[in-house]
Structure 1
Amino acid sequence: MHKKPEAHVAKRLYLKMHNKNCSTQAGRITIQIFSTCLFSLQELQSSGRGRFLLEHAAPFSAFLTDSFGRQHNYLRISLTEKCNLRCQYCMPEEGVPLTPKSELLTAKEIITLARLFVKEGVEKIRLTGGEPLIRPDVVDIVGQLHKLEGLKTIAVTTNGINLARLLPRLKEAGVNAINISLDTLVPAKFEFIVRRKGFHKVMEGIHKATELGYHPVKVNCVVMRGFNEDELLGFVDFTKDLPLDVRFIEYMPFDGNKWNFKKMVSYKEMLDTIKQRWPDLEKLPCETSSTAKSYKVPHFQGQISFITSMSEHFCGSCNRLRITADGNLKVCLFGNSEVSLRDHLRSGASEEELVQIIGEAVGRKKKQHAGMFVVSEKKQQ
């Protein structure tokens, strides 16, 4: 991979060109173009964001690189606000006010925005909700995403209720990664936590995913004191004979879940509990941008991970952006700042204008979120 020229090297080249006989119109145009490029290079080097871009040999969109050098190549797209469960840590029993359908992104708008982000360097798109698999056109949306050149991963996060039925078609359309939410291995407790029936459908979805070759199948488990912290060992044992990655997620504040710090079980407390049963638990290597701390019990087929959003944030390596179901761009899950890409799209903004708007939002991204206590206070207001 060639090294990019520094500004002073480019300047010497410019002076040599200028000293040559450039009296022709073509020569003068060449000099003018080169001097403009040189100015842009020097301007880049004068800013922190620009220096970061110049120092990294691998090309990446400046519009998706923030002022702290974080490159955002992972986009989460919410397909719907609706959900067929009422998990106690996510929303109240009566549900939440829904945005009118006319204000939600259409399938065409989702693909238009996704194409824009992929063109700028996004390599992974995760479809979320609400519950994404209750959207009637989800398979078609996946198929359209699969056609985008440069997109390497199409992932889906689901509660698993409709998964066994839809997964063969989703796999054929292009889904190559699955996350399934499951907070208990006890059917009666499942109904209590999610306020609905469906435990056996979720288990069927997990087994269907392993049968279809998804390795690993990620199982998201939100751990809450007084609800399911007594099932940690059972979930670890769940990985013994199946290629699962059970991901223990620290209980986080969301609108409507009446977050209580006393309900949160920290990563370290969970790890200590598990190590008492399996003292030879092995720490696994992870990617820089990974949100998970991963471990494995020797000779188990699967593994476990911890998502430490509250006790040990991973803001410094964050590479994620989010688009809500109504088309707002969120550069941080815990931030209040949003930019409506839907409104700009519907008002006829050009691709260049949309990229500029996205770049400005990414450029404003903060170094880290305010911390779990401040975040929880904001979410309860």
Structure 2
Amino acid sequence: MGFIKDAYTIFRIGARTVSNTYLKSSRPSHVSIAVTNRCNSRCIYCETYLCDFSKELTTQQMISIIDEISRDGSCYITLTGGEPFMRQDIFDIIKHCYKRNLIVNIPTNGLKIHNFNAGQINTIVKCVRNIQLSIDSADTKENDFIRGVDGSLDLAIQGVKRLKDGGFDKIGILTVISRYNYKKLKGLLYLTRDLGLKRIRFQPVGINSNYPSIAPLKDKREVLIRGKQIDELRDTLSEYIRLENRLGLTTNLKFLKTWIGPYFKFIESEKFFMKEVNRCFRCIYPATALFIDSNGRLQPCQFLNNVGSGLKEVVYNWRHNKKLNEIRKSLKKGNFFQECRRCMCTFEFSSTYQPFSKSQPPLLISKVRQKIKDS
């Protein structure tokens, strides 16, 4: 039954995404809400600690947005941050999403999970479909350095065990690849296997600010992979792909290998790496996904500035917002913005659900095939 639900979810999101992109449906296929910008990590590549925390959405505002999203037929919601579990009312929000038949995904650093009580764990088991837990190295000192918290790896591992002991196993690892860890990704594959998990995703570090209203960290470029390091990374990815198969894991390494080289090669130039990978690439994220920041403002995506309030008639505003529609038209023509040069987040999303790509087959089918293989 788990496979059937997952496959159905993929097709449901995919069908809605295609409908939005080509038939101009009025409903987003996926909703992301930054429930807070507060975080108990201080990662070397993140600006979250510079954010203004004084205007975050109230519980009632969150509930109102969730009600409207569900009434309009959206199915999949990511409660992101910051660190989502820093909100005191996060479990009330999770329960309300479940009550409104929304499929809930939560990315987290995992630092608080080991202290969750039985009731909180039961809420996760009942109401959450997936948790993505951030770990950047299987080496304790290295992970603590990258994530800016002593004991971060041990706490994350304790969090995984707490969830699994409570009956929740829909856990995946998310790793940001930088010059500090690219030679040691093998350890993360083994760690994933040793924790009894099946999924780990990798994404390259970016140099855009994670918050459009805040300037990027001054030393953010120091985490990039450059020159010969790029070739080293691509060579080792082939080894990691073979290891992935031996360990019975599901990763995005095969697809990542096709574009991570151009990404790091061109990220500091005026070129758009996605056009080096796929001349026909179009970013469909703003046309298919709804993103609300922690202050209740609509954003086209994580890296582009907000286009207005999302507190009232959020889905209607998402479809009819003038600024957002201008952005969609520009992207549909292949006219990217400067922030797009350094974006990695929506590239995989758009490639997955862009069914008429001329240079590569849609990844939607391959994802379902992988689900069948894993079942």
Shorter-chain TM-score range: 0.5 to 0.7
Instruction: Return the alpha-carbon distance in structure 2 between the equivalents of residues 141 and 275 of structure 1.
Output: 41
Query: Is 1:221 aligned to residue 193 of structure 2?
Result: no
Aligned to 1:161: 111
Instruction: Return the alpha-carbon distance in structure 1 between the equivalents of residues 248 and 36 of structure 2.
Output: 34
Aligned to 1:305: 252
Structure 2 residue corresponding to 1:81, chosen from 26, 37, 40: 37
Instruction: Return the alpha-carbon distance in structure 1 between the equivalents of residues 340 and 15 of structure 2.
Output: 38
AA of the residue aligned to 1:168: I
Flag the 1:262–1:360 CA change in 2: closer, same or farther, 3 A: same
Judge conservation of contact 1:161–1:205 (CA < 8 Å) in 2. Answer: yes
Q: Which has the larger radius of gyration?
A: 1
Deviates more, 1:330-339 or 1:198-207: 330-339
AA of the residue aligned to 1:143: K
1:143-172 CA-to-partner distances (Å, cap 9, x unmatched) read 1111114x2x11111110012333614415
Structure 1 residue corresponding to 2:202, chosen from 231, 236, 248: 248
Q: CA deviation at 1:176?
A: 1.9
Judge conservation of contact 1:87–1:193 (CA < 8 Å) in 2. Answer: yes
Flag the 1:374–1:271 CA change in 2: closer, same or farther, 3 A: closer
Aligned to 2:129: 176
Instruction: Return the alpha-carbon distance in structure 1 between the equivalents of residues 236 and 22 of structure 2.
Output: 39
Aligned to 1:323: 292
Instruction: Return the alpha-carbon distance in structure 2 between the equivalents of residues 303 and 59 of structure 1.
Output: 23
Structure 1 residue corresponding to 2:50, chosen from 81, 92, 96: 96
Query: Is 1:105 aligned to residue 57 of structure 2?
Result: yes
Aligned to 1:370: 337
Flag the 1:174–1:251 CA change in 2: closer, same or farther, 3 A: same
Flag the 1:75–1:373 CA change in 2: closer, same or farther, 3 A: closer
Q: Secondary structure at the match of 1:243?
A: coil
Flag the 1:373–1:60 CA change in 2: closer, same or farther, 3 A: closer
Judge conservation of contact 1:72–1:122 (CA < 8 Å) in 2. Answer: yes
Q: Secondary structure at the match of 1:303?
A: coil
Q: CA deviation at 1:268?
A: 8.3
User: Between Structure 1 and Structure 2, which shows a larger proportion of helix residues?
Assistant: 2
Q: Secondary structure at the match of 2:187?
A: helix
AA of the residue aligned to 1:200: D
Instruction: Return the alpha-carbon distance in structure 2 between the equivalents of residues 168 and 80 of structure 1.
Output: 21
Structure 2 residue corresponding to 1:122, chosen from 63, 71, 74: 74
Flag the 1:180–1:69 CA change in 2: closer, same or farther, 3 A: same
Aligned to 1:137: 89
Instruction: Return the alpha-carbon distance in structure 2 between the equivalents of residues 262 and 196 of structure 1.
Output: 17
1:224-255 CA-to-partner distances (Å, cap 9, x unmatched) read 01x11121111122343422311111111242
Structure 1 portions without partners, runs of 5+: 1-57, 282-295, 346-350, 377-381
1:26-55 CA-to-partner distances (Å, cap 9, x unmatched) read xxxxxxxxxxxxxxxxxxxxxxxxxxxxxx
What is the aligned-residue identity percentage? 22
Deviates more, 1:189-198 or 1:81-90: 189-198
Q: CA deviation at 1:370?
A: 3.3
Aligned to 2:99: 147
Q: CA deviation at 1:261?
A: 8.1
AA of the residue aligned to 1:336: N
Instruction: Return the alpha-carbon distance in structure 1 between the equivalents of residues 52 and 69 of structure 2.
Output: 26
TM-score (norm 1): 0.65
Judge conservation of contact 2:37–2:51 (CA < 8 Å) in 1. Answer: no
Query: Is 1:359 aligned to residue 297 of structure 2?
Result: no
Flag the 1:269–1:330 CA change in 2: closer, same or farther, 3 A: farther
Instruction: Return the alpha-carbon distance in structure 1 between the equivalents of residues 232 and 282 of structure 2.
Output: 22
Judge conservation of contact 2:16–2:29 (CA < 8 Å) in 1. Answer: no
Query: Is 1:185 aligned to residue 141 of structure 2?
Result: no
Q: How many residues align?
A: 286
The equivalences for 1:273-292 within 5 A come to: 273-276=236-239, 280=242
The equivalences for 1:7-86 within 5 A come to: 65=20, 69=24, 72-86=28-42
Q: Secondary structure at the match of 1:113?
A: helix
AA of the residue aligned to 2:239: Q
Q: Secondary structure at the match of 1:238?
A: helix
Deviates more, 1:325-334 or 1:262-271: 262-271
Judge conservation of contact 1:61–1:120 (CA < 8 Å) in 2. Answer: no
Flag the 1:116–1:170 CA change in 2: closer, same or farther, 3 A: same
